[in-house]
Structure 1
Amino acid sequence: MPPGVAVCFSSLFIRLVCMAFLTSSDKALWHLALPMIFSNITVPLLGLVDTAVIGHLDSPVYRPVYLGGVAVGATATSFLFMLLLFLRMSTTGLTAQAYGAKNPQALARALVQPLLLALGAGALIALLRTPIIDLALHIVGGSEAVLEQARRFLEIRWLSAPASLANLVLLGWLLGVQYARAPVILLVVGNILNIVLDVWLVMGLHMNVQGAALATVIAEYATLLIGLLMVRNIFKLRGISGEMLKTAWRGNFRRLLALNRDIMLRSLLLQLCFGAITVLGARLGSDIIAVNAVLMTLLTFTAYALDGFAYAVEAHSGQAYGARAGS
């Protein structure tokens, strides 16, 4: 769904419902939540496109192997990157508090500190990806053919780590300042670009699993560029100067790390559950893991849609807390 259509449709729906049933607080929550629901469901759509494109490759014999390789690679990527989802969550909370307190210096700090953390962690993952991949595939086990395809996928996919983690921070910051349209554009445009590249590289250029990985890498860096342009516009609106950005890395970094530690523990337990499905499926054969890949992709539609409410609540509760603390 194009960004403009998603925003217009969600805005119309909000107006119709709000006129009869909702309070002003409800309206504000839905105004942020509904666009995020529509844009969030494009994220698992990527998994469906990967599955559909890989599943339509010419070789029936190797389809389960390709699907299994992408499933293992996507699960390993999700496990690692979602452990760092605290970058998005903590950024939203701290940004919303600064936004509620109307503190431009704190707004700058809420972006710069986690962004530096994201870029550092992403660069480390990209540089050390080969030994990390070896460890991940050793834990997964199963068919050697599937693991080889997963390795080819991951060697390319994890080159996007700096951009992927930085995008989490940008998304969290834009949500924190309640710029509802920006996250929608980021997610939808990035995902549509990924889908187009997926079809072209996998089916057009016959790059198989490497094509699926490369499509995501290109889309992640393109999304990062768009996100930085949006953030620059917010800087102008919120009075955030270059001098503020230069000193924004300073401050209470321990608070950020302590907050992230607790969220990371939550993410670890959640990802262990999802990862177990792929690991156990891989040990039961190529067909089982291929079927599990389809089922997991369908399951994530509900999860990502409900996250739209979570994002909205984070932003509004943080704003209320910041406004109270600043008063």
Structure 2
Amino acid sequence: MDTPADVASTPPQPLTHRRVLKIAVPIVVSNATVPLLGIVDVGVVGQMGDAAPIGAVGIGAIILSSVFWIFGFLRMGTVGLVGQAEGAGDMAEVSAILTRALIVAGVGGLLLIAAYPLIVFAAFSWESTTADVEALARRYLFIRIWTAPFAISVYALTGWLVAQERTGAVFAVQLIMNSINIGLNFLFVLGFGWGVEGVALSTAIAEIIGAGIGLWFCRNAFARPAWRDWPRVFERARLVRMMLLNADILIRSALLVAMFTSFTFLGAQFGEVTLAANEVLIQFLYLTAYAMDGFAFAAETLIARAFGRRDPARLRRSAVMTSMWGAGICVAMGLGFWLGGPWLIDLLAKDAEVQQTARVFLPYMVFAPAIGCAAWMLDGIFIGAARGRDMRNMMILSAGLYVVAAVVLIPWLGNHGVWAALLVSFAARGASLGTRYPALERAAA
């Protein structure tokens, strides 16, 4: 067996644009399947001829997505740690990290099951719904909560596969999960007439199968005895590093979600039409994020390996090459929104007043991809380097500037101030992370 020194001294794979695309494209295609599942979920219960099941599925899915998202740090943290271990040639640690991540996922999932009554109480204390919708949503949640360990494990398995540059396997997991989910939706809801419970059961079964398929794709990790080398798996220093990294990423992500949530509420004060227009336009931003994810993932894995090899020149080349593609995507998206934005607005909203209002604020979305490009790509770069503290601190700074911009600009500019504050946060995050990049290269050396 090769030692870490032997592997680290082995010439690495060449960095080429083809390699970047091989990592990125499956993620971009995989992301394209995500909205389809939501459409099918709503569509099948919509055939029941009642509004309550549609609302119940929507609310239940949002609640669980938010709760499961708490453990999204497992994907990002696992990529950086595994990639660095592989870059350093420490293949035993590559296997041990997967075991640690799966243990966190399993324990976290069991804690969520135990906390189910509290989750339901908190959700419906805050969410105002009709009695019928709440009753159906509770049934949906009760079925899906039992698969929490499996759903969270998919985060860990995905991160491990991305670090291995096996994004084709990630796409396969996502495609199989969504296909099973959609097929069972039709069978359980339209075939058996199980309604909301059928939608929940379809998703639960798909999550269990998805975790199983993910484990199969990660089977080479279990071919090494280190995956069950318990002294290594539970080594204090490695556990502390993992927990601190994940805590930093969790804080960063929580602040990001808080900004987007507040964006919705800040826009709501200007009336239903403005709120609807903002929601239409924010979908443009989500489209950009889906497209950018693939190249951010490529940055994560290539940077992690360069960092693990202690090769700052390779790290810089990885950052530049992936960022070139990211910048190209952002320019293309901005141009597309400029040329096709009015058509897309009309496709998403049929109300003439909403269409007109959305057109007024469309220029913000034309420039948003270019302004946010540095933040998106540097996120991937810093995730790969496992520099969670920098990500956390710069997000705190940009969130603070977002609050200041909102307080100053909204009373003066109205909804234009809401959009301007959001773009200020993008620019601040990109600029602040950019100032920390030289330290990242020095750390790699």
Structure 1 residues 71 and 152 mapped into 2: Cα distance closer, same or farther (>3 Å)? Answer: same
Gaps of at least 5 residues in structure 2 are: 1-13, 267-277, 312-443
Q: Deviations over 1:235-255 (max 9, x none)?
A: 54xxx2257544442222111
Residue 103 to residue 69, structure 1, CA distance change in 2 (3 Å): same
**Residue 33 in structure 1 maps to residue 33 in structure 2:** no
Cα 1:205–1:300 change in 2 (3 A) is farther
Aligned residue in 2 for 1:176: 163
Q: Hey, what does 2:185 align to over in structure 1? A: 198
Shift of 1:159: 1.3
8 Å contact kept, 2:95–2:221: no
Give 1:228's match in structure 2, choosing from 204, 215, 224: 215
Task: State the aligned residue count.
Answer: 291
**Residue 300 (structure 2) pairs with residue 317 (structure 1):** no
Equivalence map 1:91-170=2 (5 Å): 91-170=78-157
Q: So what's the TM-score if we normalise by structure 2?
A: 0.59
Q: Which is greater in Rg? A: 2
Identity among equivalent pairs (%): 35
* Cα drift, residue 55 of structure 1: 1.9
AA at the equivalent of 1:267: S
2:39 matched residue in structure 1? 48
> Unmatched 5+ residue regions in structure 1?
1-22, 281-291
- Aligned CA distance change for structure 1 residues 48 and 273 (closer, same or farther; 3 Å): farther
CA distance in 2, matches of 1:151, 1:145: 10
Equivalent residues of 1:174, 1:182 under 8 A apart: yes
C-alpha deviation, 1:130, in angstroms: 2.2
Give the AA of the match of 1:150: A
- Give me the whole-angstrom Cα distance separating, in 1, the residues matched to 2:284 and 2:298: 23
CA contact (8 A) 2:227 2:233 kept: no
TM-fit CA distance, 1:196 = 0.5
Q: 1:216 to 1:66 in 2, by over 3 A?
A: same
**Corresponding residue number in structure 2 for 1:303:** 289
1:250 partner letter: F
Q: What is the letter of the counterpart of residue 108 of structure 2?
A: A
Larger RCO (CA under 8 A, 6+ residues apart): 1
Aligned Cα RMSD in Å? 3.1
Distance 2:97 2:256 in 1: 26
Displacement of 1:316? 1.1
Structure 2 residue aligned with 1:79: 66
Report the secondary structure of 2:233's partner residue: coil
CA distance in 1, matches of 2:234, 2:120: 34
Task: Choose which of 258, 266, 276 in structure 1 pairs with 2:252.
Answer: 266
SS of the residue corresponding to residue 85 of structure 1 reads helix
Aligned to 1:289: none
In the other structure, the counterpart of 2:391 is none
Which whole-Å CA distance do the structure 2 matches of 1:180 and 1:170 have between them? 11
Indicate the residue corresponding to 2:243 in structure 1. 257
Residue 197 to residue 310, structure 1, CA distance change in 2 (3 Å): same
Letter in 1 for 2:158: L
3-state SS of paired residue (2:129): coil
Equivalent residues in 2 for 1:62-77, closer than 5 Å: 62-63=50-51, 65-77=52-64
The letter of the residue matching 2:155 is L
In structure 2, give the amino acid aligned to 1:311: F
CA distance in 2, matches of 1:308, 1:215: 28
Give how far 1:191 is off: 1.0
What is the aligned partner in structure 1 of residue 176 from structure 2? Answer: 189
